[in-house]
Chains A and B, each alone.
Chain A
Amino acid sequence: MINRSLKLPISLKVSISIFIVFWLIIAAFPFIWTLWGSFKIEADFFSKADWMNALFAPRTIAEKGGAFTGDGYYGAWVQENFWQAVINTTLVCFFVVGTSLTIGTLGGYALSRSSYKYTFWLLITALIFRAMPPITLVAGYLLPFYEWNLWGHLATTVIVLVAINQPFTLWMLHSFFQKIPKELDESAKVDGCTQFQAFRHVIIPVMWPGVITTGLFSFLLAYNDFAITSMLLSQNNQTMVPKIASFMGTTQTEGNVMFAVAAVVSTTAPLFIMVMFFQRQIVSGLTAGAVKG
């Protein structure tokens, strides 16, 4: 690769660099801009007079005495109880990832170790389920959930998210388990282990890279979901994303769009950190399905 890039003519090199810079600006600038703007007041971040106001913040200085203000964050976290949504999201994500990995590894392992034809049909069914937009299922949930008073609780949402997550988890873990040689657990079974013992003592110790990658995607699904969480959670139990959407309804009239800006930054920050630490796993997860298929 390196000697090939050395051979690039200078004009091509320059245009590639320009393109990359252009793409990086498109990809990252909106986030940096929003982060910067979240510390201003609305009159500066949304300035009719001059966009430079968002940079130098004359109104923020005039009103708050400094170029940066934490008012948006205070408003969102304290006044509008965004902290509650943060706790809810943490709970939902933790239980979704935990449950979906537990039942997903069992299922994915079984699929990879059985040679009967029905495993194929199960995988095809999972693929069909994976294609269903989650919002189309919501109408089916609401009636029984109302009848049995299950609507609005975090636990219900966790179970629904786990189920919606299963098809993807199964496919991913299935392909990871297929890379673990069958001889490993076969030999354990020859030594007298049951299938479950072989799984417990031989497979679990070596499966972690695949499980961590799959876990990251389960986490992302739970963290980013809007369709299910906005429909199935009551006001008090809302997670961060539907909470932000509800800000849009209430705060725009009060001129407090900055609450929403601050909430968006607060929600995005953990994702940034996650990508920073798990970039390699995310990339390998995205490509796992593709390269295999």
Chain B
Amino acid sequence: MIAIIGLLVGVAVGILWNPVVPLWLEPYLPIAIVAALDAVFGGFRALMEKRFDDRIFAVSFLSNVVIASVLVFLGDQLGVGAQMSTGVVVVLAMRIFANAAAIRRILFRA
């Protein structure tokens, strides 16, 4: 519930504020979002399994975003930015699917 409220607040703030994204930051936003989604799904799964921890959640969220962005940035600097983005997105998507599967098993027992 609180998570959904937070998400809605964030969306509202984003729409109302509508900040101008610096051009150099733009390529990293999608990656950052996927990384953040991974942390959110992981947190949700932990919540379902009754082992949620706010500290781990916050740290994993921030570190995921930072590491994913830095990896892609490094890839860009080394000329393999596209491949690095693909790799990062594949791994994160895999984790998201694994977590989603675990959540699904708990919620629907299927």
Asked if A and B bind, the verdict is no
Enumerate chain A interface residues (CB-CB to B < 8 A): none
